[in-house]
C-alpha cells in the first residue's frame, strides 16, 4: 500500500504529546510490513536542519488562503532507522515560531490559515510529485481539512481518484474551532457551513470537518471509540460520531519497547526481566525499589508497599480523588508514595503541604524528568492512574512492562489494557492490575486497599499479576498490524 501520513507532530522532529509518537513510530513499523509510507509535517523552526540532514525537495507551491496566494516549498529528510521519507512543509511566516500552536496559553490567531496551508500544501505536493496514494492517514484537527478538500475541490483529480482517507482522533477535546469568517480561508464553499457538515454551534470545527468527510475514523483505544459516542465524553460531537459509528473503530497505541524495556533500560540501578519465580519474587526489581526509596528520601524497606504516580497534575488524571485518598492513607497506612508531575499550581501546593507533613512516606518531584519517570516505573510496586477519561494512556503500559501493577479507573485505553484481579482472572492468569468504575473517592479507596491487601497477604498471586503484565506484547508491532488491516478496509470502502 502507498500511504501518506499527515501530522502536525512527529517524533523525533516535533512533539508535545502522544500524537507525535504515533506519527513517528507507526510508519517505521508499517515499512517493516512492506508498505510504502511517507510523512508530511510542518517545517517548524525548532527542527534542527543539520542534525536531521534536511534538504530541498525541489517542489514549491502557491496556496490560496482566502483571496491571497501564499508561497511555500517542500523540504525532505528520512525517519531515523528507516527509509520512510519525511516531507516538511516550509512557510516561514507560519512555522518559524517559538512554539507549534500558541503562546502564553493562547492559540495563535492564524491557526486556521497555518493548518489550511499545511493541508493544501500536502495535496499540491503530491500532485507535483505525481504520487497517487492509496490512503492519506490524517491526525487530529490540524489535518481535518484534507478529507474535505479531497471530496470537494479535488473530487475529479486523476491523482486522487483512488485515494481514501482515515482520520485518527487522539483527543476529542481539541477540535480546531474558529469563527465563521475563517470559512473563506479554508476555500470551502459556504454551503458546507451547516450543522451536518463543518459547523459547530455557529463556529467552523475542523475536527468535525474531518469526521464528516473522512472515509474511515479511528481513535487510540476501542473503549474510547465507544465512549465518545455518548454525551459524557463526546465533547459535543457525540451526535456526528454516532452518525458515523459504522466507520469508527479504536486501535490501542503501542509503547516504544526499545526505550521502555527493564532488561536494557540504562536509567535503572539494575536491569531485570519477566523470567522470575513467582514464589521467590524478582530480585532485580527489588534493587530498583530500594534505589527509588533512597532517591526519594523514603525509608529503605523492601516490605513497605510503594505506590508511584507520573503524569500531568490535571483533574483529567484523577487528582480530585487522589489527594484526599492519599492524605488518608499517609495518615493511616504503612505505604509509601512517589509522585512526579507538573501542572495545576493548586495541586502543586497541596502536594507540597502533604510532603512536608509526611516526608518519610511521600517522595515528591514537581518537575519533568524522563529518567526519574523510568526509575519510578521500575521501583514502584503499584502505579496509580484513576483518570476521568483516557483516550489511550501510556503510563499504565510502561508500568506493566516494568512489573508494576496498575490501579486504574475503567475508562478508555485503561479499560482496554488492565485486567482487573478477580478470583477468576487470577486463576486463569490473565489478571494484571486493579480496576474500578465510579469516579469517586470511595471507589478509588477500595481499589487501593484491595491492591495493598493482595501485596501484603498474597505475594505469589501479586507476583503473578506482575508477570502477566510484563509478558504481554505492548509493542507498536501489534498496533501496526491492526492499522494495516484498517488501511485495507478503508481502501476497499
Distance between CA 45 and CA 50 in Å, rounded? 12
In the complex with ligand ADP, the residue whose CB is nearer, 177 or 340, is: 340
CA atoms within 13 A on the CB side of 131: 17
Share of the chain residues as helix, strand and coil, in percent rounded to the nearest 5:
40, 20, 40
Segment near ligand ADP (CB under 6 A); pick from 77-85, 281-289, 336-344, 475-483: 336-344
75 binds ligand ADP (CB under 6 A): no
261 binds ligand ADP (CB under 6 A): no
In the complex with ligand ADP, the residue whose CB is nearer, 165 or 417, is: 417
338 φ/ψ angles, rounded to the nearest 5 degrees: -130, 125
311 binds ligand ADP (CB under 6 A): yes
Q: Which DSSP string corresponds to 283-322?
A: HHHHHHHHHHHHHTT----TTS-EEEEES-BSGGGTHHHH
In the complex with ligand ADP, the residue whose CB is nearer, 11 or 127, is: 11
Residue 390 CB, shortest distance to ligand ADP, in Å, is 7
Segment near ligand ADP (CB under 6 A); pick from 159-167, 173-181, 222-230, 364-372: 364-372
Residue 23 CB, shortest distance to ligand ADP, in Å, is 14
Distance between CA 482 and CA 166 in Å, rounded? 13
In the complex with ligand ADP, the residue whose CB is nearer, 2 or 410, is: 410
Single residue of 369, 422, 428, 429 touching ligand ADP by CB under 6 A: 369
Contact 122, 89 (CB under 8 A): yes
Single residue of 23, 145, 252, 373 touching ligand ADP by CB under 6 A: 373
Provide the grid cell at 471. 509478558
Number of residues forming the site for ligand ADP (CB under 6 A):
15
Segment near ligand ADP (CB under 6 A); pick from 62-70, 197-205, 368-376, 438-446: 368-376
Residues 395-434, mask of contacts with ligand ADP (x by CB under 6 A) = x---------------------------------------
Segment near ligand ADP (CB under 6 A); pick from 85-93, 238-246, 337-345, 402-410: 337-345
Distance between CA 80 and CA 291 in Å, rounded? 34
In the complex with ligand ADP, the residue whose CB is nearer, 150 or 392, is: 392
Give the per-residue SS3 of 465-480.
HHHHHHHCCCEHHHHH
In the complex with ligand ADP, the residue whose CB is nearer, 128 or 316, is: 316
Give the per-residue SS3 of 57-107.
EEEEEEEEECCEEEEEEEEEEECCCCCCEEEEEECHHHHCCCCCCEECCEE
Distance between CA 493 and CA 487 in Å, rounded? 10
Residues of this chain that interact with ligand ADP (CB under 6 A) are 17-18, 310-312, 340-342, 368-370, 373, 393-395
Amino acid at each position: 500500500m502507498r500511504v501518506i501520513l499527515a501530522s502536525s507532530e512527529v517524533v523525533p522532529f516535533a512533539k508535545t504529546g502522544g500524537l507525535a509518537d504515533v506519527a513517528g513510530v507507526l510508519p517505521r513499523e508499517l515499512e517493516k510490513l512492506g508498505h510504502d509510507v511517507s510523512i508530511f509535517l510542518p517545517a517548524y523552526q525548532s527542527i534542527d536542519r543539520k542534525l536531521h540532514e534536511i534538504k530541498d525537495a525541489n517542489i514549491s507551491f502557491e496556496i490560496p488562503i482566502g483571496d491571497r496566494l501564499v508561497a511555500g516549498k517542500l523540504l525532505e529528510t528520512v525517519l531515523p532507522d528507516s527509509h520512510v521519507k519525511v516531507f516538511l512543509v516550509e512557510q516561514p511566516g507560519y512555522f518559524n515560531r517559538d512554539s507549534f500552536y500558541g503562546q502564553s496559553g493562547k492559540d495563535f490567531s492564524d491557526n486556521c490559515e497555518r493548518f489550511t496551508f499545511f493541508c493544501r500544501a500536502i495535496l499540491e505536493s503530491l500532485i507535483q510529485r505525481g504520487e497517487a496514494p492509496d490512503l492519506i492517514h490524517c491526525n487530529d484537527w490540524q489535518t481535518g481539512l484534507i478529507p474535505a478538500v479531497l471530496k470537494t475541490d479535488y473530487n475529479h483529480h486523476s491523482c486522487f481518484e483512488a485515494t481514501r482517507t482515515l482520520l485518527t482522533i487522539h483527543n476529542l477535546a481539541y477540535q480546531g474551532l474558529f469563527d465563521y469568517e475563517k470559512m473563506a480561508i479554508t476555500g470551502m464553499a459556504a454551503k458546507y457551513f451547516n450543522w451536518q457538515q463543518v459547523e459547530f454551534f455557529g463556529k467552523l470545527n475542523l475536527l468535525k470537518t474531518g469526521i464528516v468527510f473522512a472515509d474511515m475514523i479511528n481513535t487510540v483505544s476501542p473503549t474510547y471509540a465507544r465512549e465518545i459516542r455518548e454525551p459524557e465524553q463526546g465533547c459535543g460531537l457525540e451526535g456526528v460520531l454516532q452518525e458515523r459509528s459504522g466507520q469508527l473503530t479504536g486501535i490501542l497505541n503501542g509503547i516504544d519497547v526499545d526505550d521502555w524495556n527493564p532488561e536494557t533500560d540504562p536509567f535503572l540501578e539494575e536491569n531485570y526481566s519477566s523470567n522470575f519465580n513467582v514464589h521467590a519474587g524478582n530480585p532485580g526489581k527489588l534493587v530498583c525499589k530500594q534505589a527509588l526509596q533512597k532517591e526519594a528520601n523514603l525509608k529503605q524497606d523492601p516490605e513497605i508497599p510503594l505506590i508511584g504516580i507520573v503524569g500531568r497534575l490535571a483533574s483529567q488524571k484523577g487528582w480530585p480523588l487522589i489527594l484526599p485518598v492519599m492524605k488518608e492513607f499517609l495518615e493511616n497506612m504503612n505505604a509509601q508514595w512517589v509522585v512526579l508531575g507538573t501542572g495545576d499550581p493548586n495541586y502543586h501546593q497541596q502536594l507540597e503541604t502533604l510532603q512536608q507533613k509526611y516526608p518519610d512516606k511521600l517522595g515528591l518531584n514537581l518537575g519533568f524528568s524522563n529518567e526519574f519517570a523510568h526509575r519510578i516505573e521500575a521501583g514502584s510496586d503499584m502505579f496509580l492512574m484513576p483518570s476521568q477519561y483516557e483516550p489511550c494512556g501510556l503510563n499504565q503500559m510502561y508500568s506493566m512492562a516494568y512489573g508494576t501493577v496498575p490501579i486504574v479507573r475503567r475508562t478508555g485505553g485503561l479499560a482496554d489494557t488492565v485486567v482487573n484481579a478477580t478470583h477468576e482472572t487470577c486463576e486463569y492468569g490473565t489478571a494484571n492490575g486493579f480496576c474500578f468504575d465510579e469516579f469517586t473517592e470511595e471507589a478509588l479507596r477500595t481499589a487501593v486497599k484491595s491492591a495493598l491487601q493482595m501485596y501484603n497477604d498474597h505475594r505469589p498471586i501479586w507476583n503473578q499479576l506482575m508477570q502477566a503484565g510484563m509478558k504481554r506484547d505492548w509493542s507498536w508491532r501489534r498496533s501496526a498490524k491492526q492499522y494495516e488491516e484498517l488501511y485495507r478496509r478503508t481502501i476497499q470502502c
